[in-house]
Structure 1
Amino acid sequence: MPIFETQEETPEIKERLHRVGITNLRTVAKINWKGSVYTFLPLFEVTIDVPAEKKGIHMSRLVESITESMSEAVESEVLEAHSSLEELGKCVIKHIEKKHPHKRAEVWIKTHLVIPRETPASGKTSYEPYDVEVGVIKNYDGSFEKVLRVKVIGNTVCPHAMANNNGKTHIQRAIGELEVRAPFSKEIPLEDMIDVVESSFSNPTYTLLKTVDENTVVQGMFTNPKFVEDVAREIFAKARERFPGKIRVKVISNESIHKHDVIAETWS
């Protein structure tokens, strides 16, 4: 039975597509972080560009190229720990280059980074999870850039209510997001980005808290009241000072006395 390569036909509408590929591909990755090997089960999104004169990509070939790339990596690279998630992403692009022609490619990796923290009073170890995302982009000129994103949970204490209620006020959980877009060669540790966000809230939050820790956290919050705007500005200022590249900050305050939330966002 003949096989018709319909992907090679000329499309009715000739427009270049910048991103075509697969998403929500879960696999295994090992990263050598600070001398210790960590295992991740991240979600991958991998795309390439499609020229205007081509109807589509051979999706099975792309999936095959990803599968073979990951299979080779399982044998020789993924299980041999990489130094960072972005190094792993670039490695995947290099494998795709051998299997499918393209001029532009992207690899996005979403996962969780768990960092041990010491509780503020009892000194116990609390394992704190953080959402992280790493994007590696191969541009049309062959250069590489990366996008690093972290999401951190903290808290805020409203200074306006405090000033108008004899020190009584409302508190809320807040979510801070920091994105840095930079040349691939720039070293930007995800844990440093997390520290920048976490240190900008009224006080950090913890998974494990004994009573003495709870007291310390509450006292810390009330001695450091902040609007969501204050948090966003502080994250941005610290990030701009520490990290090269373009900075984007977004903070959402899950309000406790309103039926809506509050957002503050800025970028360079």
Structure 2
Amino acid sequence: MFETQEEVPEIKERLHRVGITNLRTVARINWKGKLYTFIPTFEITIDVPEEKKGIHMSRLVESITETMSEAVEEEVREAHTSLEELGLAVIKRLEKKHPHKRAEVWVKTQLIMERETPASRKISLETYDVEVGVIKEPDKVEKVLKVTVIGNTACPHAMANNQGKTHIQRAVATLEVRTDYNEEIALEDMIEVVESSFSSPTYTLLKTIDENAVVQKMYSNPKFVEDVAREIIFKAKQKFKGRIHVKVISYESIHKHDVIAETWY
């Protein structure tokens, strides 16, 4: 069998990221004594030297499959304790199958958290988009943690000029932290930083008294999209070590356009 991947390419240029993307599988994470089951989407890439034509794609998939098997077979091995640990485990398996200098594993999934509604105190299950990346360089390993949270804003300008009446809109904020792999940061803490920075959180379950409480909170806490972005990065800088990126989009209710605020540290 010809190993065409090992041939010398016609154009000799190093490639920094070559791999597979949009690969879905199952993962089990044992986080703080609770077992979570995810169906994440993976992206796995490695660097390819200038003298090598390509990579062996099947070996990337094998590295995930074998790592998942370790997590599922609980009678032999424990589940991984975090998504970033899972990502690093994939990279370590990949090192044995496909030598490289640089590798990345990105995991996208949804995290479901229990929230208590503001007035009726009922439990509402809320879903948050999260992404975890593990980046291995020759001299270091870093991780990237990213959460996306839905909230809402009430416009302070309209409120100040309209006898207390204003327009409200849904807002979506993303917080990303890039840091050393060994730095302990919980996705739940990142979600809390973002969610607490809106005029009000949003909920899947709301009884009438809860709706009233949410509306009252929004009107008592009006914010521009700029205010939300500033509050998120202010809180994040106090709580997390690393490079921080914040992006907030306000889906305007009275305009045909939307509004964005973005900053980093």
1:48 to 46, 49, 54: 46
RMSD: 1.6
Partner amino acid for 2:109? T
Partner amino acid for 2:118? P
Q: Give the secondary-structure state (helix, strand or coil) at the position aligned to 1:150.
A: strand
Q: 1:78 to 1:235 in 2, by over 3 A?
A: farther
Q: Equivalent residues in 2 for 1:115-194 (5 A)?
A: 115-141=113-139, 143-194=140-191
Partner amino acid for 2:45? T
- Normalising by structure 2, we get a TM-score of 0.96
- Per the alignment, residue 26 of structure 1 pairs with 24
Q: Does 1:91 align with 2:89?
A: yes
Q: What do residues 20-76 of structure 1 show as CA deviations (whole Å, max 9, x unaligned)?
A: 111111111111223211111111111111001111112233333443444445436
How far did 1:140 drift? Answer: 2.5
- Per the alignment, residue 214 of structure 2 pairs with 217
Provide the rounded CA distance (Å) in 2 between the counterparts of 1:264 and 1:230.
Answer: 9
Partner amino acid for 1:128? E
Provide the rounded CA distance (Å) in 2 between the counterparts of 1:188 and 1:119.
Answer: 26
Provide the rounded CA distance (Å) in 1 between the counterparts of 2:220 and 2:253.
Answer: 19
Q: 1:219 to 1:78 in 2, by over 3 A?
A: farther
Q: Does 1:227 align with 2:224?
A: yes
1:205 to 202, 209, 212: 202
Provide the rounded CA distance (Å) in 2 between the counterparts of 1:216 and 1:13.
Answer: 64
How far did 1:79 drift? Answer: 7.3
- Normalising by structure 1, we get a TM-score of 0.95
Q: Give the secondary-structure state (helix, strand or coil) at the position aligned to 1:93.
A: helix
Partner amino acid for 2:47? D
Q: Give the secondary-structure state (helix, strand or coil) at the position aligned to 2:133.
A: strand
- Per the alignment, residue 6 of structure 1 pairs with 4
CA contact (8 A) 1:148 1:179 kept: yes
CA contact (8 A) 1:47 1:105 kept: yes
Select between 25-34 and 256-265 the one with higher mean Cα deviation: 25-34
Q: 1:77 to 1:90 in 2, by over 3 A?
A: farther
CA contact (8 A) 1:65 1:100 kept: no
Provide the rounded CA distance (Å) in 2 between the counterparts of 1:195 and 1:205.
Answer: 13
CA contact (8 A) 1:30 1:80 kept: no
Q: 1:78 to 1:179 in 2, by over 3 A?
A: farther
CA contact (8 A) 2:59 2:94 kept: no
Q: Give the secondary-structure state (helix, strand or coil) at the position aligned to 2:65.
A: helix
Q: 1:95 to 1:229 in 2, by over 3 A?
A: same
Partner amino acid for 1:193? M
Q: 1:78 to 1:168 in 2, by over 3 A?
A: farther
